């Protein structure tokens, strides 16, 4: 593998997992904002077609729904982080030649 610096046989470790973590952090932050400020959170996403804006208007009028979606976002992001962390642990331990906690 050649990276953009020109070094051969150099792998860039966990680039995909860094993107996954960034996505999860964004989901968690947006979910917490929806829980704390359910009326203002849909305004942050007020860009797009008419149907999307109608959907956001529907959510902003229903704070319980906005909070529920926020909790769901945080839960999905946490699950995503745990799953990706387990896969990373397995890869690292296999490279080191040690069994992981999940393979014992």
- For residue 45, the 8-state DSSP code is G
Does residue 49 fall inside a structural domain?
Answer: yes
Give the largest CA-CA distance in the chain.
56
pLDDT in tens, 55-70: 888 888 899 999 999 9
What is the domain range of residue 56?
39-103
Does residue 30 fall inside a structural domain?
Answer: no
Question: Would you say residue 73 has pLDDT above 80?
Answer: yes
pLDDT given at position 95:
72
Place of tokens 């077609």: 49
Q: What is the pTM of this model?
A: 0.65
Q: How far apart are CA 104 and CA 100, in angstroms?
A: 6
Does residue 7 fall inside a structural domain?
Answer: no
Chain-wide mean pLDDT for the chain? 79
pLDDT given at position 3:
46
Q: What is the mean pLDDT of residues 2-31?
A: 69
Question: Would you say residue 94 has pLDDT above 80?
Answer: no
Number of domains into which the chain is organized = 1
Q: How far apart are CA 51 and CA 57, in angstroms?
A: 10
């Amino acid at each position: 593998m050649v990276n953009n610096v020109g070094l051969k046989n150099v792998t860039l470790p966990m680039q995909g997992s860094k993107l996954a973590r960034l996505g999860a952090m964004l989901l968690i932050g947006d979910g917490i904002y929806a829980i704390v400020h359910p009326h203002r959170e849909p305004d942050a996403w007020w860009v797009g077609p008419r149907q999307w804006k109608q959907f956001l208007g529907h959510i902003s009028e229903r704070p319980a729904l906005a909070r529920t979606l926020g909790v769901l976002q945080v839960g999905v992001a946490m699950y995503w982080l745990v799953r990706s962390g387990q896969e990373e642990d397995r890869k690292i331990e296999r490279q080191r030649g040690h069994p992981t906690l999940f393979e014992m």
